[in-house]
Amino acid sequence: MSVKISALMVKNCEDYIPQPTLLEGDSPAIENMPTISTKKICVKCETNPGIVTCDGCHQSFCEHHLSEHREEVLKEVDRINDDCERLRQSLVQENDPTPLLSAIDVWEQESIKKIQLSAENARKEVHQLTKRTMNDLNEVIDKITANTLLTMSQTSIILSCVLISIFLTNLCWASLLLVDRKNPCRAYGNASVYDITNLVKTWPVTLKGTGFDGREYIYWWSCAGKTRQCEDTDTAICQQRIDEPVLRFNAGNVSPQLWFGLFNGAVVQNNLTWDIIYPNLQSDPSLIDGTGIRVTVVHFIVDPNIEKPLLTMNGENKYTEYSITVRGKCIGQPAINRTSFIQGYCDPQTGQIVPGPYMNDINA
C-alpha cells in the first residue's frame, strides 16, 4: 500500500511516526475502543469497527490492522530516508572536481604530444623544401646552359640576364615543372598536372598590344608551336608590327620553354598562379631587328569570378621581354572534384575536372 505523506505531516524524513487519534467519546482507560456513535469501519477489513483514525491518511483502522498500517508507514519513511541519502550522495559526487581535473590533465598531455608531432613534421617539410628549391635552381641553371647559353654567341649575355632575372623571380614562390615530351601544352609536378591544350578552341590565338617603342603589334601564340605566321615551326610567340605586315619577329620558342608552378599539387583552385617562359634560340646579332633575342612570359591566374579564359597582351618590357596574362575560373590548373574526389586538371573548354595523367604515369 502506498502512503502519501505531505510536508505538513513530515518535517524531516526521520521524524514521522503516525500517532493514533481517539475518536469522540473514547475513554483513555479503554484503549482503541470506539463508541457506538461513530460508526466508522476499518478501511482494511471493512468489517470491524475503526478504533483509531490516522492523522496522515485520515483513514480508520481496527486494532489488528492498525499495527499493519503503522509498519507500512515506517517502511515508507525508511524508503524516503534512503532516497534522501542517495540524493545527498549524488549531489556530493557532482560537486567533486576530481574527474574533470583528471580529464583536463589527459587532454593537456595529448595536446602537447600533437603539437610536438606537428612541429617535427613542419621542420622536416622546411628542410625538404629548402633542399628541393636548391635542386630546382640547379636544374634551371643546367637547362639555361643546355638550351640557351650554348646556342648564343655575343648576344647571349643580354638574354641570359633577362632569363636569370625571370627565373629568380619565379623560384621565390614556385618550382620548375616537367614539360610533357609529347604534348608541349602540358607539364607536371610530383603530384600535379597543368594542361592548357584546350585553353582556346583553335591555336594560335591572336592578341594585340603595344611594344616598348609605343607602336601597336599583333601577337600569335600557340602552346604547341606552328603559329603559321613565323617560318620557324618551333615558334610559340610570333610578333608583327601592324603598320609593317612583312616584318615579323620570333618572340619565343616552344622547345626551350620553362614552366613554374606548385610542384606537389593544388586542391584549392582560388588564387593559384603559375608561369610559362618562352625564350627564343636566335644567336646571330645581325638579325636582332628581325629574329633576334626575345623572351615571352605567360602568367596564369585562377580567378573564380571569370567564367571563360581571358587572355591579355600586356605589352613589351625592356630588352624585348613580352608579357601575356591569362585569367579565368578554369584555365588548366590542377584541381580536384569535391564530389567524386577525382584529381587532375580543370579543362577550360568543359569546365570539368579531367583525371591526370601524372608524372609517374608518364615515366612508366
Q: What is the 3-state secondary structure (H, E, C) of 35-90?
A: CCCCCCECCCCCCCECCEECCCCCCEECHHHHHHHHHHHHHHHHHHHHHHHHHHHH
Range of the domain at 64: 1-98
Average pLDDT (23-51) is: 63
Same domain membership, residue 256 and residue 179: yes
Same domain membership, residue 211 and residue 146: yes
Task: Answer whether residue 21 shows pLDDT above 60.
Answer: no
List CB contacts of 359: < 8 A, sequence separation 6 or more.
178, 188, 189, 190, 193
Structural domain count, the chain: 2
The candidate with the shortest Cα–Cα distance to 289, out of 167, 155, 125, is 155
CB-neighbour burial class of residue 48 (10 A; exposed 0-12, middle 13-18, buried 19+): middle
Give the per-residue pLDDT at 64: 83
Give the per-residue pLDDT at 212: 84
Average pLDDT (302-309) is: 94
Determine which of 14-28, 54-68, 207-221, 231-245 has the lowest per-residue pLDDT on average: 14-28
Chain centroid offset of residue 210 CA: 42
Same domain membership, residue 283 and residue 152: yes
User: What is the four-CA torsion angle of 208, 198, 175, 235, rounded to 10 degrees?
Assistant: -50
What is the CATH number for 174?
2.70.130.10
Task: Answer whether residue 168 shows pLDDT above 60.
Answer: no
Give the per-residue pLDDT at 237: 94
Average pLDDT (22-34) is: 46
Determine which of 211-220, 243-252, 258-267, 342-351 has the lowest per-residue pLDDT on average: 258-267
Same domain membership, residue 180 and residue 38: no
Is residue 38 in some structural domain?
yes
Beta-ladder partners of 241: 217, 244
Same domain membership, residue 194 and residue 146: yes
Three cell numbers written together for 242: 601592324
Is residue 294 in some structural domain?
yes
3-class DSSP state of 357: coil
Is residue 308 in some structural domain?
yes
3-class DSSP state of 138: helix
Treating both helix axes as pointing N-terminal to C-terminal, what angle do 98-147 and 156-171 enclose, rounded to 10 degrees?
170
Is residue 115 in some structural domain?
no
Is residue 180 in some structural domain?
yes
Is residue 178 in some structural domain?
yes
Is residue 112 in some structural domain?
no
Pick the most confident of 123-127, 144-148, 197-201, 262-266.
197-201
Average pLDDT (312-323) is: 87
Same domain membership, residue 252 and residue 209: yes
Same domain membership, residue 219 and residue 83: no
Task: Answer whether residue 230 shows pLDDT above 70.
Answer: yes
